[in-house]
Amino acid sequence: MYTAKARAVDGPHQPFHATEIKRRNLDSHDVLIEIKYSGICHSDIHTAHGEWGEVNYPLVPGHEIAGVVSDVGPEVTKYKAGDRVGVGCMVDSCGECENCCRGEEQYCHQGNIQTYGGVDKYGEPTQGGYSTHIVVTEDFVLRIPDNIELDVAAPLLCAGITTYSPLNHWNAGPGKKVAVVGMGGLGHMAVKIAHAMGAEVTVLSRTLNKKEDGLEFGAENYYATSEQETFEKLAGSFDLIINTVSAKLDMDAYFSLLNLDGALVNVGAPAEPLSVNVFSLIGHRRSFAGSLIGGIRETQEMLDFCAEHHIVPKIEVISADQIDEAYKRVLDSDVKYRFVIDVSTI
C-alpha cells in the first residue's frame, strides 16, 4: 500500500481538511501516478454536497487529474516512469460488454467505476485527484501530449472530453450553427472546441459580462439569456445546442432556438428534474439528448486534437487551502474558467 496526502470532505457543506489515504499496491497492469494538478469540476461540488444522492464520506473528489508516472506494474506496456499522463472521470469498467467493446466505457452495462465516490473491483471505495498519488489500471490512463502543460491539461480530462464528445457525435463542423449555453468550465471548452471543429459558435450566457472572453475563445456571437428578445431573435437558428448549465432551465425556451432536426444535448447535470413540453420538440422534429463524458479512445483523440489546435482551458491555479473558497466562487459563477489545484500544496 502507498500512503497519499489528500484533501477530504466529511459531509455536505463541511470544509475540506488535510488527510492521508491508502492507494493499493501495483497489480500487474497498474500505474502509480504522482499527481501534479487536479481540476475542480462542478460535478465535484454536486457530489460533495450530496446533491446527486448518497455519498460515502469522507470523500476525496477530483476527476481532472494530470501528473507523472512514478512506477508501473510488471505487465504494463503502455507507460513507463516519467511519462506525462492524465486520468479522467472513470478508472475502470467491465471491459466485456457491448459498450466497453465499442470503446464507450462510460456507458458500460455494469456501470463504469468512477474515479471517486465509487467502489473498485477490489471492493474498496475510490478516491479522486485532490491527492498526491493515484493507482489506475493502464487502460484508463491517458497520454498528455508534449505541448500541453500539466496545469492546463487537467481540465481537459473532464471539461474537455465532456464537450468534445457530443460535438463530435452530433457532427459540429463547417456549415453547422452551434450554441453553447453557460460559459463556465465546460462551456468555455465547448466554445473553443466547436470553433476549432469549424462550426459557427454562439454563446448563450445569462449576461454579457464575459462577452469579450467568449469572442476571444472563438465564438462569433454572444447573447444574454436574461434578455427576452434573445429568444425571439434566435428562434429556429441552431443545428446543435450544448447545454452546460448546472441548474434547472426553462427547456422549452431553448428548444425554440433549434432549427428543423436540431438537437439540444444536455451535459449539465442539475439535481432537479427538467420538464419538457413535447410540443416544443415535435413541431420541428427536434431532439433532446444527454451525453456523459467520453470513452478512453475518444479522450485520447480529444487530447491530441487540443494539442494540434493549441486549445487549452483558461485556468486559475489555487493552493489546497483554497478549495472551499473555490467551491463558493464556482457556485457564484465567479470562475474564469476553471480552478486547478496545485497538488504540491496538499
- Applying CB under 6 A, among 58, 160, 187, 295 the residue interacting with ligand NAP is 187
| Sign of CA pseudo-dihedral 88, 94, 100, 103 | positive
Is there binding between residue 281 and Zn ion (CB under 5 A)?
no
How many residues touch ligand NAP (CB under 6 A)? 29
Copy the grid coordinates of residue 240.
Answer: 446543435
Q: Which one of Zn ion, ligand NAP, none is in contact with 42 (Cβ closer than 5 to 8 A by kind)?
A: ligand NAP
CB 230 within 8 A of CB 238: no
Q: CA distances (Å), 92 to each of 46, 96, 235, 274, in order?
A: 22, 12, 42, 30
> How near is the Cβ of 125 to Zn ion at its closest, in Å?
18
Is there binding between residue 67 and ligand NAP (CB under 6 A)?
no
Taking the least distance from each CB to ligand NAP, the nearer of 39 and 262 is 39
**In a 10 Å sphere around its CB, with 0-12 CB exposed, 13-18 middle and 19+ buried, how is residue 224 labelled?**
middle
CB 184 within 8 A of CB 337: yes
Is there binding between residue 184 and ligand NAP (CB under 6 A)?
yes
- Applying CB under 5 A, among 90, 156, 158, 326 the residue interacting with Zn ion is 158
Taking the least distance from each CB to ligand NAP, the nearer of 94 and 292 is 292
Is there binding between residue 246 and ligand NAP (CB under 6 A)?
yes
- Applying CB under 5 A, among 6, 21, 35, 41 the residue interacting with Zn ion is 41
Is there binding between residue 292 and ligand NAP (CB under 6 A)?
yes
Is there binding between residue 43 and Zn ion (CB under 5 A)?
yes
Residue nearest to ligand NAP (CB): 184
CB 131 within 8 A of CB 21: yes
**Alpha helix (H) ranges present in the chain?**
42-48, 98-101, 150-153, 159-169, 185-197, 211-217, 228-233, 251-255, 279-282, 296-309, 323-331
Taking the least distance from each CB to ligand NAP, the nearer of 79 and 170 is 170
Is there binding between residue 162 and ligand NAP (CB under 6 A)?
yes
User: Of 10-18, 42-50, 101-109, 251-259, which part binds Zn ion (CB under 5 A)?
Assistant: 42-50
Is there binding between residue 267 and ligand NAP (CB under 6 A)?
yes
Strand 30-40 and strand 133-137: the pairing is antiparallel
Site for ligand NAP in 77-96 (CB under 6 A): none
**Cis ω on the peptide bond leading into residue 270 (within 30° of 0)?**
no
Closest-CA residue to 150 (of 309, 301, 36, 39):
36
Is there binding between residue 340 and ligand NAP (CB under 6 A)?
no
> How near is the Cβ of 184 to Zn ion at its closest, in Å?
11
**In a 10 Å sphere around its CB, with 0-12 CB exposed, 13-18 middle and 19+ buried, how is residue 260 labelled?**
exposed
User: Of 97-105, 123-131, 134-142, 240-248, which part binds ligand NAP (CB under 6 A)?
Assistant: 240-248
End-to-end CA distance of the chain: 19
d(CA 256, CA 235): 6
Closest-CA residue to 201 (of 163, 227, 229):
163
User: Of 34-42, 69-77, 266-274, 309-317, which part binds Zn ion (CB under 5 A)?
Assistant: 34-42
Taking the least distance from each CB to ligand NAP, the nearer of 68 and 249 is 249
d(CA 65, CA 154): 5
- Applying CB under 6 A, among 169, 206, 284, 329 the residue interacting with ligand NAP is 206
- Applying CB under 6 A, among 33, 41, 72, 194 the residue interacting with ligand NAP is 41
Is there binding between residue 26 and ligand NAP (CB under 6 A)?
no
Residues at the site binding ligand NAP, with contacts judged by CB under 6 A? 41-43, 46, 158, 162, 182-187, 205-206, 244-247, 249, 267-270, 291-293, 330, 333, 335
